[in-house]
Amino acid sequence: MTTNSATSAKPRPKKYGTRDLLRLITTNAEPKKGLFILGILLSFVATICSLSITLMLKEFIDAFNHGNSGQLLVKLSIVIVLQLLASVSSSFLLSYTGVDAVSKLRSTLWDHIVDLPIPYFDHNRTGELSSRVVNDTSTIFELISSQFSNAINGLISIIGSLILMLMLNLKLTIIILIIVPIMAVIIIPMGQVLARISKAIQKETANLNSAAVQMISQNRLVKAMVAEKRLKSQGNDQVNRIKGFSISQIKLISFLNPILNIILLAAIFIIIVYGGILVQTNALTIGSLVAFLMYAVQMISPLSSVTGLVTAVQQTVGATERIDDILDTPVEDKRLDGVGLDSIDTINFDHVDFGYEADQPVLKDINLDIHRGERIALIGESGSGKTTLVSLLESYYAPTAGTLDVNGAPVASYAVPALRDQIGYVSQEVDLMPGTMRDNLLLGSPVAVTDDRLVELLGQVGLSDWLASLSDGLDTDVGERGLNVSGGQRQRLAIVRALVREPSLLILDEATASLDNQNQEKVTQLLATLPANLTSITIVHRLNQIEAYPRILFMEDGEITGDGDHATLLASHARYRDFYRLQYQHG
């Protein structure tokens, strides 16, 4: 049997481009093409109306000088209203298309992350994943809803203005045609530099987001270790890196805008001077000169939006690559076409090896048979492979060698949800989900459970008095990661959450480690009253009640070196005997 290769993504082109961006948008964002095209058409209408308004203003000024402007004023008002309606409608449709597309992309990304296998999360930081869901998709939204439409409008405005300027006066148009390439020579290379800086800012912002998530989630550890100074230094270094890139960006923009404004003012000045001469010689009307100036502005102003599209696409291509890093990672194979499972009756490890890395084995030649109803304690030093062993039972990982059977059939033949529905798992580090106590106790439960049953189970783990003291009872908000309740309470809530599922296999990964002796005794008594046909595997560090387990497995360096009850191991297993005595010597 081979390891789960879910963490390896399929090969992708080394260099991402616009084609990859379009593929991501059309495949995963699924924009409403009809609304998008309608929005572009309305945007086209709005731009044409804007160009027409300038032309009508020319006629209005010339007609005003001859005392005949009434009808033109009415036409001008109608076109202005039409331009306003088209512009508003276009803006709404394009923004709506962007919001809808990015919402679908975020949902796709969210669903994919939820379905990713455990090994993926072993190698990727939480903050970076959250940044992909929020920040990178926002970049795509900006491109769809704003940058693209602005560039299309700008292109239409540039072409339309150029044609109308040529119709008005060829010599003045030549002046503009000299100015525009000069501006383009400045804008395009600087835009590319700005794109690289923006990509660096995005990367560093994602790193800051990741560091912030880690710092906030580990705030108790930070304070307990008096590590505030170090964390502040790390955070400030990250902020200053972003600041450095941002200052570089500001410098370029601060330099670019005045230069372009000076060139634009120079062009307008030349047009006014030369146009004034043409007006004085009756070669050009005042209305035509005003219209030409307005068209010049309408032609030059959109240059930044057109060239900005190139910058925006480059930024978004970077976001596309990062999103594809996630979407190209195969989701966990839940084997939904696999066999169903009503209960776990037998478990057999036959010469099982496993390692997270190919050359670093964690489990070595595990041979183990477990039968329905057994109560097993799994002990050993930290790092001996105890948690890894039970992780194989839940199909988080697959053996690298040997076979693991459930009910006489390979574990890989069962549908993963059916297998996990039969397992109740409680870890040492318990994080509750945001929501109420009831939400957490019923999380993913495959069976219907009444409030009375929940109250009964909470009483069995010693939480009756605490529950009675809560004004909202089962509707009490547990807070982020369950921080509104104590560690011991979280631990007992997690035990109840596992029992609510009515599993046939209960795995307790040092589940009583956070409890005091009195409450540990209550949990031990509860476990003793569980149905006789419920198999339990308890990873134990505190051995004060180890005698209660009929079967004890002792692990050393990835191997099971002891298997028997307490008395047998105490008499025959030197390492177990030392381990047990050492526990009592240190309390």
Residues recognised as catalytic: 510
Q: List Cβ neighbours of 361 (8 Å cut-off, separation of 6 or more).
A: 353, 354, 355, 400, 558
64: phi > 0 → left, psi -120 to 50 → alpha, else beta; which?
A: alpha
Q: Position of tokens 């395009």?
A: 188
- Residue among 24, 37, 185, 174 nearest 102 (CA): 24
- Residue 374 is which amino acid? E
292: phi > 0 → left, psi -120 to 50 → alpha, else beta; which?
A: alpha
- Helix, strand or coil, per DSSP, at residue 220: helix
Residue 77, number of CB atoms within 10 A of its CB: 11
Q: What one-character-per-residue DSSP string does 308-369 give?
A: HHHHHHHHHHHHHHHHHHHHTSPPP---TTSB--S---EEEEEEEEE-SBTTB-SEEEEEEE
Q: What is the 3-state composition of the chain as percent helix, strand, coil, each rounded to the nearest 5?
A: 65, 10, 25
For the chain, what is the largest distance between any 2 Cα atoms, rounded to a whole number of angstroms?
119
Strand order of the sheet with strand 505-509?
A: 423-426, 505-509, 535-539, 375-380, 551-556, 559-564
CA pseudo-torsion sign 536, 542, 545, 548: positive
**Torsion angle, alpha carbons of 128, 130, 136, 140, to 10:** 160
**CB burial string 303-337: b at 16+ within 10 A, e below:** bbbbbbbbbbbbbbbbbbbbbbebbebbebbbbee
**In sequence order, what are the beta bridge partners of 496?**
none
Return d(Cα 25, Cα 70) in angstroms, integer.
50
Alpha carbon of 522 to those of 151, 389, 458, 517, 529: distances in Å? 69, 27, 11, 9, 11
**CB burial string 388-415: b at 16+ within 10 A, e below:** bbbbbbbbbbbbbbbebbbbeeebbebb
Residue 45, number of CB atoms within 10 A of its CB: 18
Return d(Cα 394, Cα 420) in angstroms, integer.
6
- Residue 96 is which amino acid? Y
Q: List Cβ neighbours of 175 (8 Å cut-off, separation of 6 or more).
A: 267, 270, 271, 274
Q: Please provide residue 378's backbone torsions phi and psi, each rounded to the nearest 5 degrees.
A: -115, 115
Q: Which two tokens stand for residue 409?
A: 């059939």
Return d(Cα 376, Cα 569) in angstroms, integer.
14
Question: Do residues 349 and 366 touch, judged by C-beta distance below 8 A?
Answer: yes
- Residue 37 is which amino acid? I
- Within 13 Å, how many C-alpha atoms sit on residue 547's CB side? 2
Q: Please provide residue 72's backbone torsions phi and psi, each rounded to the nearest 5 degrees.
A: -65, -35
